[in-house]
Structure 1
Amino acid sequence: MADYMLRATDSLSRRVRGRLYASFSPHLHRSLRIDRGTRIRSLHKLKVGVNVWFKEGVLINARSDREFGIEIGDDVTIRSYSYLDCYGANGRIAIGARTGIGQSVYIGGNGGVIIGNDVMISGHTYIVAATHGFDPSISIPYAKQPETRVGICIEDGAWVAANCVVVDGVTVGAGSVVAAGAVVTRDVPERTLVAGVPARPVRSLAR
């Protein structure tokens, strides 16, 4: 009985938090659920659909120069301690419907990250749409060399498994799978399993 009461209290609390945030922005649906420890920055630049759940310790920073820095579709769950961040003129993260973001995922959308519908991003994955220059012929530290921002697209139905890295300029095709621990440095064709460092095709997943 005590366990049931605690679960019911947690469920009510996350719904109350969601409605509280939604009361400050017309772009957040009232069905939003927010667990304790979640932080949202630049709330006015966040757009959230129906039945979205931010689990414990999630950090959302939508500080882009665009009207909406982060847009999240219906029925999306972002699991504990994930961090979504974007800034600058092209800063954008868009997540389609029914997509799941695993625990402790980092998505840096400075150059734009577009994630389609029904996508799985497993835990401890790193997706960053930006990179620093590293020209050794000039006497400028790498940290101060110009940053390039091209953008990343992960298409409908793809699965990026745990502990992966997806670098700027890459498209992960619809229905493809990126095996755990892979580093994706080039486009992944549709319905293809890739693995390794750097990621290379293993086999077709075509029906």
Structure 2
Amino acid sequence: MTELEKCMAGEYYDCHNEIFLSLKAKARKLLKEYNALQYEQKEEKRKILDRLFYEAGTNVSVAQPFLCDYGYNIHIGNNVSINMNCTFVDCNKIEIGNNVLIASNVQLYTAAHPVELSERLTPDWNPESEEYFCRTYALPIRIGNGCWLGGGVIVLPGVTIGDGSVIGAGSVVTRDIPANSLAVGNPCRIIRSINLPAGS
């Protein structure tokens, strides 16, 4: 397997491999251009988002400043609003459905490291090599249709948030949240179900 294939499979990978450095360099250049644009330059913003993200649907708004690792792994549906100061660490896929609101300062993290130090350190690491000194893996994040993530929410690797769910401001989402749930806190817990509109 290539390092990119290992990464997407959730296995340990070398995050300093040339493919990742190349993707990151491209993203940094596009982000610098994007974040320098004026608020009203909507056409110019859209052109950059089309080059930065793997896909973005219609009526997608990404407020500035915005940061991501690669952009390559970000998939966004239709009618999505991403407010200012959001950070998407997209080492693996970040999939955002339709009709989604993402408030300011939301952080989506797909990358992770082992908890135990003995597992976290790269075996036989050589400081003169380009390999990273600790092991890294990445797991996808999925945010369903009709979700709303409040200000400052942090979503950790491997989490799926089901359709129609709302995550309260400041929450840290460490595990999957089922559809149509109101969930808050650190760690994020379900408070109650959300009633669906008639006929939905």
The interval holding the TM-score normalised by the smaller chain is 0.5 to 0.7
Q: Partner amino acid for 1:77?
A: S
Residue 144 of structure 1 and its aligned partner are, at CA, apart by 2.7
Residue 134 of structure 1 and its aligned partner are, at CA, apart by 3.0
* Corresponding residue for residue 37 of structure 1: 36
Residue 133 of structure 1 and its aligned partner are, at CA, apart by 2.1
Q: Partner amino acid for 2:149?
A: V
Q: Partner amino acid for 1:75?
A: N
Cα gap change, 1:134/1:85 in structure 2, threshold over 3 Å: closer, same or farther? same
Cα gap change, 1:36/1:200 in structure 2, threshold over 3 Å: closer, same or farther? closer
**Which SS does the other structure have where 1:137 is aligned?**
helix
**Gap runs ≥5 in structure 2:** 1-32, 123-131
Within the alignment, does 1:106 sit opposite 2:95 as a pair? Answer: no
Asked whether the 8 Å contact 1:94–1:113 carries over to 2, the reply is yes
Asked whether the 8 Å contact 2:54–2:74 carries over to 1, the reply is yes
Higher RCO structure (Cα 8 Å, ≥6 apart): 2
Within the alignment, does 1:153 sit opposite 2:142 as a pair? Answer: yes
Residue 71 of structure 1 and its aligned partner are, at CA, apart by 1.4
Within the alignment, does 1:134 sit opposite 2:103 as a pair? Answer: no
* Corresponding residue for residue 182 of structure 1: 171
Residue 132 of structure 1 and its aligned partner are, at CA, apart by 1.8
Cα gap change, 1:53/1:193 in structure 2, threshold over 3 Å: closer, same or farther? farther
* Corresponding residue for residue 199 of structure 1: 188
Structure 2: distance between partners of 1:118 and 1:190 = 14
Structure 1: distance between partners of 2:91 and 2:98 = 21
Bigger helix share: 2
* Corresponding residue for residue 26 of structure 2: none
* Corresponding residue for residue 167 of structure 1: 156
Within the alignment, does 1:80 sit opposite 2:61 as a pair? Answer: no
Structure 1: distance between partners of 2:43 and 2:161 = 24
**Which SS does the other structure have where 2:55 is aligned?**
strand
**Which SS does the other structure have where 2:182 is aligned?**
strand
Cα gap change, 1:187/1:53 in structure 2, threshold over 3 Å: closer, same or farther? farther
Structure 1: distance between partners of 2:84 and 2:95 = 19
Cα gap change, 1:61/1:185 in structure 2, threshold over 3 Å: closer, same or farther? farther
Asked whether the 8 Å contact 2:119–2:135 carries over to 1, the reply is no
Residue 53 of structure 1 and its aligned partner are, at CA, apart by 7.5
**Which SS does the other structure have where 2:91 is aligned?**
coil
Q: How many residues align?
A: 150
Structure 1: distance between partners of 2:108 and 2:77 = 16
**Gap runs ≥5 in structure 1:** 1-33, 39-50, 63-68
Asked whether the 8 Å contact 1:52–1:75 carries over to 2, the reply is no
State the Cα RMSD in Å: 2.8
Asked whether the 8 Å contact 1:54–1:77 carries over to 2, the reply is no
Within the alignment, does 1:92 sit opposite 2:92 as a pair? Answer: no
Cα gap change, 1:83/1:205 in structure 2, threshold over 3 Å: closer, same or farther? same
Residue 59 of structure 1 and its aligned partner are, at CA, apart by 9.0
Kindly provide the CA deviation profile for residues 154-204 of structure 1, in whole angstroms up to 9, marking residues without a partner as x: 000000110010011000110000000000000011000000000000010
Asked whether the 8 Å contact 1:170–1:186 carries over to 2, the reply is yes
